[in-house]
């Protein structure tokens, strides 16, 4: 056990390395001192909320005037150490480079313990004393912790289960993906248009010219998701309309991750249709919808699920690039530098979208690859 009375943490935009050691009972301190620059006061406030609520530690702050002035930082940290009693350890992971260097110098000179949280291995390494063995950090963090640390709050989560008939329909759509790819995008169009009234425009023209679309509607009607009356689609309720509008793929992805969570180690939290909001300094809160979000080995993964057709020449709001840019923003905003994103598309993506996704390090799973989704997710999440 390596418990200390106090941890001194350097605050930056990367909150996870400061959270995970404090949530781990093996090294959890009783007190946390956050070293905060003027630019990081809001981030420190969010981090403090997480540590107080779920870390069950007392939290105080120690201000520095300039996060880039090494001599100033050294002086402030020496002043800090003169005020502390009992065993103290420095978490040297966060802050600016000058903050980290100055803190290491001061704590080393005072013969205090120093550790660093590896950003990819989810391990705590001792920089002093170096002979102490590393610690594989416990996966105690939840989605709410990372979101709270970024200034966001969870407003709602999606359904966690669907009717067996809906699950069977989803399996059929994935098993025969080539046959249903085209008619499913037409159903998306009508389901999207029925958002307010649960009723589509007249679909008789589509039924007359397209037997595959009529067959698809028969499948959805047999599963009690919709019915056809007077040439219009009537959805059973909002959850049925959401399911027909592509929610079935989202729920399938969520279900596959739940299965992996039971079969493997590493996945600590997962949620579907996650609605989050961030209160800005000025104006109304900004809201984001995350199709599927999960935490594995203390790293955030965000997944966007799409069943509509993407065209490179479409306007931006209909382009696959819109989803890719959204994923890039969300993974960085809520997961920091180590956040990961994946776009799962029922229909094939253009080469332009694939190139953009590769540039932004967004994983792609498209078309028939969805039939191997569990294996793809297991590899992506580095599960054992």
Give tens-digit pLDDT for 102-158.
Answer: 999 999 999 999 999 987 778 999 999 999 999 999 888 999 999 999 989 999 988
Q: Answer yes or no: do 102 and 70 share one domain.
A: yes
Of the three residues 78, 112, 140, the one that is the final residue of a domain is: 140
Q: Which domain holds residue 243?
A: 141-384
pLDDT tens track for 48-81: 999 998 878 999 999 999 999 999 999 999 999 9
Q: Answer yes or no: do 343 and 235 share one domain.
A: yes
* Contact (CB, 8 A) for 8 and 90: yes
In a domain, 277, yes or no: yes
CATH number of the domain to which 57 belongs: 3.40.50.10770
Q: Answer yes or no: do 134 and 149 share one domain.
A: no
Q: Answer yes or no: do 194 and 124 share one domain.
A: no
Q: Answer yes or no: do 245 and 148 share one domain.
A: yes
Of the three residues 111, 140, 169, the one that is the final residue of a domain is: 140
The token pair at 137 is 């950090």
Q: Answer yes or no: do 194 and 106 share one domain.
A: no
Q: Answer yes or no: do 203 and 264 share one domain.
A: yes
Q: Answer yes or no: do 124 and 152 share one domain.
A: no
| HEC string for 291-344 | EEEEEECCEEEEEEEECCCCCCCCCHHHCHHHHHHHHHHHHHHHHHHHCEEEEE
Total structural domains within the chain: 2
Q: Answer yes or no: do 172 and 44 share one domain.
A: no
pLDDT tens track for 4-17: 899 999 999 999 99
Q: Answer yes or no: do 155 and 284 share one domain.
A: yes
* Contact (CB, 8 A) for 55 and 28: yes
In a domain, 276, yes or no: yes
When pLDDT is cut at 50, 70 and 90, the band that residue 312 belongs to is very low
d(CA 221, CA 208): 18
Nearest to 268 by CA among 150, 120, 146: 146
In a domain, 1, yes or no: no
């Amino acid at each position: 056990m390596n418990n200390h009375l106090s941890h001194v943490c350097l605050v930056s935009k990367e909150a996870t390395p400061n959270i995970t050691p404090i949530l781990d009972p093996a090294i959890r301190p009783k007190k946390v001192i956050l070293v905060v620059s003027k630019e990081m006061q809001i981030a420190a406030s969010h981090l403090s909320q997480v540590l107080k609520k779920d870390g069950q530690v007392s939290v105080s702050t120690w201000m520095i005037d300039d996060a880039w002035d090494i001599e100033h930082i050294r002086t402030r940290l020496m002043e800090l150490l003169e005020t502390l009693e009992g065993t103290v350890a420095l978490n040297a992971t966060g802050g600016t480079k000058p903050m980290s260097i100055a803190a290491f110098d001061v704590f080393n000179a005072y013969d205090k313990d120093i550790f660093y949280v590896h950003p990819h291995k989810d391990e705590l390494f001792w920089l002093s004393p170096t002979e102490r063995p590393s610690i594989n950090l416990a996966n105690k963090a939840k989605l709410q912790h990372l979101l709270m640390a970024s200034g966001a709050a969870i407003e709602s989560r999606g359904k966690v289960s669907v009717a067996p008939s809906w699950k069977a329909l989803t399996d059929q759509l994935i098993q025969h993906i080539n046959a249903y790819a085209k008619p499913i995008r037409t159903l998306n169009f009508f389901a999207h248009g029925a958002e307010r009234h649960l009723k589509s425009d007249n679909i008789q023209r589509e039924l007359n010219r397209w037997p595959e679309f009529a067959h698809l509607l028969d499948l959805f009607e047999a599963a009690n998701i919709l019915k056809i009356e007077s040439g219009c689609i009537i959805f059973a309720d909002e959850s049925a309309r959401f399911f027909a509008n592509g929610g079935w793929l989202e729920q399938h992805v969520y279900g596959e991750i739940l299965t992996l969570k039971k079969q493997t180690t590493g996945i600590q939290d997962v949620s579907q249709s996650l609605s989050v909001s961030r209160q800005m300094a000025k104006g109304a809160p900004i809201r984001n919808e995350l199709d599927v979000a999960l935490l594995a080995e203390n790293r955030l993964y965000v997944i966007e699920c799409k069943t509509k057709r993407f065209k490179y020449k479409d306007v931006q709001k209909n382009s696959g690039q819109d989803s890719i840019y959204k994923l890039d923003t969300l993974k960085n905003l809520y997961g920091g530098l180590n956040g990961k994103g994946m776009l799962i598309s029922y229909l094939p993506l253009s080469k332009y979208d694939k190139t953009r996704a590769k540039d932004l390090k967004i994983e792609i799973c498209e078309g028939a690859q969805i039939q191997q989704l569990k294996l793809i997710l297991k590899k992506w999440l580095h599960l054992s």
